[in-house]
Amino acid sequence: MGINCGKLRSNQGDNMKKTENRPRFAGKASFLRYELKGSLGFFVATMLLSAAAALTELINPRIISCVIDYVIGNEVLPENGIESFFIRSFGGTEYIGKHIYIPALAVIGVGLLSAGIKYLSGASNSAGAEKFVKRLRNTLYAHTDKLPMAWHQKNPAGDMIQRCTSDVETVKNFVSAQLTSFVRIILLIVLSMFFMLKINVRLTLIAAGFIPIIVGYSLFFHSRIGKTFMKADNEEGVVSSIVQENLTGIRVVRAFGKEAYECDRFITKNENYTMLWVRIMRILSIFWSMGDFISGLQVMLVVILGAVLCVKDDITAGNYIAFVSYNAMLTWPVRELGRTIADLSRAGVSIDRIMYIMNSVPEELDAGSKEFKEESDALISFEKVSFSYKDGTDVLTDIDLEVKKGEKIGIIGGTGSGKSTLTDLLTRLCDEDRVRGVIKFMGRDIREYSLTDYRRRFSKVQQEPFLFSGTIAENIGISCENISREQIDSAARDAALDGIIDTFTNGLDTYVGERGVTLSGGQKQRCAIAAGLVKNADVLILDDSFSALDAETDERIRKTLYEKYSGMTMIIIAHRITTIAGCDRIYVLDKGRVTDHGTHQELILRKGIYRDIYELQSGRQI
Ligand SMILES: Nc1ncnc2c1ncn2[C@@H]1O[C@H](COP(=O)(O)OP(=O)(O)OP(=O)(O)O)[C@@H](O)[C@H]1O
């Protein structure tokens, strides 16, 4: 063979570690850069349009101030300057005084222009936000889909759903509402200050003295609230998990009369979640009211000091009104800046939670060989394979097992003896780093194959059949892309579905609800067997797939498997001896070890677990 599997395994291990240590996104900025592809243009346009809207907002106070000072008042119009240019262009102060509708129309015109720009900015922002959130959801879902089973077993589905919905929404709102208005806020602050400085330097410095107070206070608040947001988001994930678990397991809850218990569990977790939000809202209320107080103080000071300066003739009445307007324009963006900083905590927490998923290492589906050449007599072999889900407790120990092409192999053993785990290892659904020993397919270490191509060689009927909402036919054909109706019909017959289909009005086109709720356990199992058969894979694994079938149906399906599918390699896990008695070889598992193997006849003649089970189930003594 010439392949040193031990060396290959250690090299692969090194590579895997390197990949694990390298997150996909080094930080929030690189994550946002990646997710903003396709929507960045819209957000840039939004920022530019917001900046234009901010500029237009600054015009009206100037128009009003000029009218008060030069048209209504007695101030002398300067020779130069943009205001003088416009006043002269419209016929001079006297003409405008007689036609006062001119400045009124100008104010309305500027207002309309500002509204038009704001509309365009809003439209561009919405388009960008929807594109951004669509890409984020798509990449997140596609990535989650590629994560290994071990990852899915470790992370509760409810929490992951919450990250993919609520956290995504938080990030979208932050990017579209806060981040895009950032440019506008900065521009409004700079320009308001510029015009205020032109009117009076001392008063501007007093007004601007409040900016570092508000920004510093917001930064302090931002550092305090971040952890509480994280706790609240985690608690929301717990609440989502309970709802999801209860809806999925509603039958069990009802059957065991656990409604009150589950309701209490929900109420407790919901209480924790609510309390965290009450705490957040309390901190937010303090933050906002303190912000209001500081801003109010600033406005009051500017109004009083401005009035004093106006009385002393240090500034004109028009300039005083313009200054107060610009100051109002300054306080709003400064407060918004504080809000943006505060919202940064929440968005930062949500980005971290999303990045946890995005930085989890996916399965390398296409690495490895796509070539399958028979290099050994054994199609499948386990050589001294041990496995543990966590350190120190082996679920499988020193498993040696061989399956030749076309053989039907039975596996029997007590509950928890490791039967399903063994087939999960074979189909590479477990954390492969925890596997010791070698598993080979066609004589080569299974890790040498591309995961996608390797898994295509197997068809596994799960212990707990899962049906998607759709028709029975759709569920049978789920594993194949181009499947004919004849193939589906034939597989349904082979899985003994023909009898029950006659009882449904729409036959195979009968719609089964979510998770197949409208079917009985046995019907679901037969659908799953049909789906397993239709794939026509090299190896069919039936994991306790006959457990809900009556003896007659069990026998009928078995007969079909042995006769019609005689060339197909099968691994049949069962608790009933009759289901596996006809197998070419049977492996007996006990506490994760193969304690015996042989044909049914060989095993019942030997003292051991198999004979004990046989005697118990058949009621005969050997
Ligand atoms: N994802 C997991 N994480 C941790 N332990 C697990 C996991 N899955 C299974 N186990 C443990 O591994 C052992 C073997 O489980 P496995 O499902 O392989 O047994 P089994 O022989 O198929 O049982 P049964 O006949 O009841 O289906 C059990 O002790 C089980 O608790």
Q: Whose CA is nearest to atom 4 of ligand 1?
A: 389
Average of per-residue pLDDT across 193-211 = 89
Distance 395 CA to ligand 1 centre (A): 8
Distance 389 CA to ligand 1 centre (A): 9
- The protein residue whose alpha carbon is closest to atom 27 in ligand 1 is 415
Name every residue whose Cβ is closer than 8 Å to that of residue 586 and which is 6 or more positions away in sequence: 409, 410, 411, 412, 580, 597, 598, 599, 600, 603, 610
Q: How far is the CA of 463 from the centre of ligand 1 (A)?
A: 12
In this prediction, residues 545-571 reach a mean pLDDT of: 88
The residue whose CA is least distant from atom 25 of ligand 1 is: 415
Above 80 in pLDDT, residue 501? no
Q: Give the pLDDT confidence score for residue 441 in this predicted structure.
A: 94
- Measured from the Cα of 418, ligand 1's closest atom is 18
Residues having CB closer than 6 A to ligand 1 are 153, 389, 395, 413, 415-421, 463, 544
Nearest CA to ligand 1 atom 1: 153
621 vs 615: CA distance, rounded Å: 6
Ligand 1 centroid, distance to 382 Cα (angstroms): 19
Which tokens in the block code for residue 135? Answer: 């890409």
Long-range pairs for 593-601 at CB < 8 Å and ≥24 separation? 593/396, 593/397, 593/398, 593/399, 594/399, 594/400, 594/401, 597/401
- Of 23-27, 473-477, 574-578, the one with minimum mean pLDDT is 23-27
Per-residue pLDDT tens digits for 230-260: 788 888 888 888 888 888 778 778 877 788 8
Tokens found for residue 437: 């020993």
Distance from Cα 559 to the centre of ligand 1, integer Å: 30
Which residue's alpha carbon is nearest to atom 23 within ligand 1? 416
Position 465 scores a pLDDT of: 82
Whether 445 is covered by a domain: the verdict is no
Secondary structure (DSSP) of 320-383: HHHHHHHHHHHHHHHHHHHHHHHHHHHHHHHHHHHHHHHTSPPP-SS-SB------SSEEEEEE
Judged against a pLDDT cut of 70, whether residue 8 lies above it is answered with no
Cβ atoms of residues 143 and 358 within 8 Å: yes
Which atom of ligand 1 lies closest to the CA of 153?
Answer: 1
User: Position 616: which residue type?
Assistant: L
Tell me which residue has its CA closest to atom 29 in ligand 1. 416
Return the residue whose CA atom lies nearest to atom 7 of ligand 1. Answer: 389
- Closest Cα to atom 16 of ligand 1: 418
Q: Which residue has the higher pLDDT, 328 or 500?
A: 328
The string of pLDDT tens digits covering residues 165-180 is: 888 998 998 888 877 7
pLDDT at 348 over 50: yes
User: Tens of pLDDT along 372-422?
Assistant: 877 778 899 999 999 999 887 899 999 999 999 999 999 999 889 999 999
Contacts of 460 (CB under 8 A, 6+ apart): 423, 427, 532, 540, 541, 543
Q: Is residue 235 part of a domain?
A: yes
Distance 201 CA to ligand 1 centre (A): 76
Give the alpha-carbon dihedral of 340, 341, 342, 346, to 10 degrees. Answer: 80
Q: Residue 214 is part of a domain; what is its CATH number?
A: 1.20.1560.10
What average pLDDT does range 495-500 have in this prediction?
Answer: 81
pLDDT at 6 over 80: no
Based on the structure, what is the number of domains in the chain?
Answer: 1
Q: Which atom of ligand 1 is nearest to the CA of 417?
A: 21
Order the strands of the 393-404 sheet from edge to edge.
393-404, 378-390, 435-441, 444-445
Rounded distance between C-alpha atoms, residue 477 and residue 27, angstroms: 42
Q: Is position 213 within any domain? A: yes
Q: Is residue 105 part of a domain?
A: yes
What residue owns the CA closest to ligand 1's atom 9?
421
Mean residue pLDDT across the chain: 85
Its domain, for residue 37, covers 24-358
Say what the pTM is: 0.69
Residue 53 has pLDDT above 80, yes or no: yes
Average pLDDT over residues 496-523: 76
How large is the average pLDDT for residues 120-148?
A: 91
Question: Is the CB of residue 283 less than 8 Å from the CB of residue 346?
Answer: no
- Inside any domain, residue 444: no
Show the DSSP H helices in 446-507 as ranges: 451-456, 472-476, 485-494, 498-503
Q: Is the pLDDT of residue 223 over 60?
A: yes
Ligand 1 centroid to residue 420 C-alpha, Å: 7
- Percent over 90 (pLDDT), the chain: 31
Query: Which mutation among 149, 387, 389 tests ligand 1's pocket best, with the greatest number of atoms within 8 A of CB?
Result: 389
Q: Tell me the mean pLDDT in the region 449-459.
A: 91
Instruction: Give the model's pLDDT for residue 397.
Output: 95
Label residue 399 left, alpha or beta by phi (over 0 means left) and psi (-120 to 50 means alpha).
Answer: beta
Query: With pLDDT > 70 as the criterion, what percentage of the chain qualifies?
Result: 95
Question: Which of 62-76, 345-359, 401-415 comes out lowest in average pLDDT?
Answer: 62-76
Secondary structure class of 98 (helix, strand, coil): helix
Q: Is residue 92 part of a domain?
A: yes
Query: Does residue 515 carry a pLDDT above 70?
Result: no
Q: What order do you get walking across the sheet with 593-598 strand by strand?
A: 458-461, 539-543, 569-573, 408-413, 585-590, 593-598
Residue 447 included in any domain: no
Q: How far is the CA of 449 from the centre of ligand 1 (A)?
A: 26
Closest C-alpha among 205, 444, 209, 424 to residue 323: 205
Whether residue 41 has pLDDT greater than 80: yes
By most ligand atoms within 8 Å of CB, the mutation choice from 421, 541, 591, 593 for ligand 1 is 421
Residue 16, pLDDT > 60, answer no
**Ligand 1: centre distance to CA 386 (Å):** 14
Any domain includes 550:
no
Nearest CA owner, ligand 1 atom 12: 395
Of residues 559 and 344, more confidence is placed in 559
Q: How far is the CA of 429 from the centre of ligand 1 (A)?
A: 13
Nearest CA-CA partner of 3 in 371, 269, 543: 371
In tens, the pLDDT along 279-319 reads: 888 888 888 788 888 888 888 999 999 999 988 888 888 88
φ, ψ at 21 (rounded to 5°): -75, -10
Ligand 1 midpoint to CA 415 (Å): 8
Q: Which of 417, 545, 576, 590 to mutate to test the pocket of ligand 1 (most atoms within 8 A of CB)?
A: 417
**Residue 584 CB-density burial (10 A; 0-12 exposed, 13-18 middle, 19+ buried):** middle
Per-residue pLDDT band at 14 (split at 50, 70, 90): very low
